[in-house]
Amino acid sequence: MSSNASQLAPLLSTPPVKNFGWSVTFAGMGINLALGVLYSWSVIKKDIPAEWNWNGVEKMLPYALACLVFSIVMVPAGRMQDKFGPRLVASIGGILVGAGLVLTCFTTSAIGYMIGFGLLAGAGIGFGYASATPPAVKWFPKQRTGLIAGIVVSGFGLAGVYVSPLLNWMIADYGIPTTVLILGIGFLFVVVALAQLLKSPPAGYVPAAPHSGGKSPSATASVSPPKGDMTPKEMLVTWQFWILWFMYICGAGAGLMIISSLAEIAKVQAGLSLGFLLVAILAIGNGGGRIVAGMVSDRIGRKATLRICFVLQAIMLLVLNAANKGSAIATVPILCLISALIGANYGANLAIFPAITKDYYGLKHFGMNYGLIFTAWGVGGCTLSVIAGLIYSGYIGNRKGSFEFAYYTAVAMLIMAAIIVSFVRPPHRKQANAIESPAVAHA
């Protein structure tokens, strides 16, 4: 018996699964570094020539539409990522972003930019972004979900560090049409190339827990049937989904409102012509905040981290509102600090919400589940950005040339989110009834 058992042991054991976690993580981060061109819009907007005859609302519409399309496309893109894998979906994203930017070089109209930048590039960003985080977090244990999600999405936030000064220089020397043409061609090749490095683990893959006897994850990882995953339909009937969705609107909308107008705020409100510098500083905070918030949420919990970020963001917006010409706050060092903190608090949302989606609803349908929650990002960004543009242009209220009412609206939403987060708790997760056959589990 012992002889037969020893002969069968090699046949029954599961071979170790090679771990591609870190290569997938940094490939996803690289893709997001390219897709973060979205955050450069405030630099493009301030340099739109007067002869193009765009009003204040038209200058906001391509960005607002890109945010909305980005978030909506995340749903079908997440579904495609779950079904067909990340490589194909990310490649589609690179092609759409490149095509959209190239198209804008042939137009000077707001409608043309809404189609090229807002519709095509926005959809491409959705396809690429939906494919970057899911395969990365699947390679790591739950204790590192926040950290890995933070690293992947940090690329999107850090993009402003190089995109903003690069655009500022290129637009000054070559003009907007040539600049967007070069960016479109470059990003197409970069995203499609990095997409080929994305790879999801086999079905039922269970990564090793941290500090597992000094062994590497690939040496101790195993494959087993998934349990407790919720389908998108099951997720939508939980009240937690709608609470998370509302909080995401508040946190993301407040940050996107500032990102879309920061260069103009510095110039008109504070009287300083250093918009591209503040955009770059905000991008550093945005990228760094995603990593830090992800790590912190792994230690103190998602809810506690979100509460801190909501409250701190509300304080920063009130301080920025007071940064008027001649005030002690309207100085370069203080505005740089405010920009970095606003970026960090905003970026925290992009790391914590995918992590909490995985915590609450599992990994099997993570792509589409997070895509549905991410629609809140588009609703918040589109709504508050347009409101800020309408107020500034005098279409709402009697404070033309001021963002004051927009600040107070965002602050009120952040305070509500900080209160509501205390009542959120994980939904009841059903255990999977069916046990996969060994052939499926070890595929």
Separation between Cα atoms, residue 401 and residue 424, nearest integer Å: 39
Report which of 163, 172, 178, 164 is spatially closest to residue 101, judged by C-alpha positions.
178
Query: Which residues, listed in sequence order, are joined to residue 206 by a DSSP beta bridge?
Result: 222
The token duo for 383 is 């709504």
H-helix segments, 196-274: 217-220, 232-236, 239-259, 262-264
Query: Which residues, listed in sequence order, are joined to residue 205 by a DSSP beta bridge?
Result: 223
Separation between Cα atoms, residue 221 and residue 203, nearest integer Å: 13
Residue 279 · residue 338 · CB < 8 Å: no
The token duo for 63 is 């960005």
**pLDDT value at position 324?**
77
3-state helix, strand, coil in the chain (%, to 5): 75, 0, 25
Please give the chain's pLDDT, 443 residues, in tens: 455 555 544 444 456 667 788 999 999 999 999 998 887 787 788 788 889 998 877 888 898 888 889 989 999 999 999 889 999 999 999 999 999 999 999 999 999 999 999 999 999 999 999 999 999 988 998 888 889 988 998 988 888 788 878 888 999 899 999 999 999 999 999 999 999 999 988 877 777 766 544 444 443 444 444 456 899 999 999 999 999 999 999 998 888 777 767 767 777 766 666 666 787 788 889 889 999 999 999 999 999 999 999 999 999 999 988 877 777 777 888 888 988 999 999 999 999 999 999 899 988 888 899 989 999 988 887 777 777 767 666 655 555 656 777 788 889 999 999 999 999 999 875 543 333 333 333 22
- If 0-12 CB within 10 Å is exposed, 13-18 middle and 19+ buried, where does residue 296 land? buried
What are the residues whose beta carbons fall under 8 Å from the beta carbon of 338, sequence distance 6 or more? Answer: 316, 319, 320, 323, 329
The DSSP H or E segment spanning 379 is helix 366-392
Residue 184 · residue 101 · CB < 8 Å: yes
Residue 417 · residue 380 · CB < 8 Å: no
**pLDDT value at position 344?**
93
List the domains of the chain with CATH numbers.
19-200+228-424 (1.20.1250.20)
Q: What is the DSSP code (8-state) at residue 432?
A: P
The DSSP H or E segment spanning 206 is strand 205-206
**pLDDT value at position 236?**
94
**Torsion angle (degrees, nearest 10) of CA 390, 391, 393, 399:** 160
Separation between Cα atoms, residue 386 and residue 359, nearest integer Å: 33
Regarding pTM above 0.85, the answer is no
- If 0-12 CB within 10 Å is exposed, 13-18 middle and 19+ buried, where does residue 201 land? buried
**How many CB atoms within 10 Å of residue 99?**
16
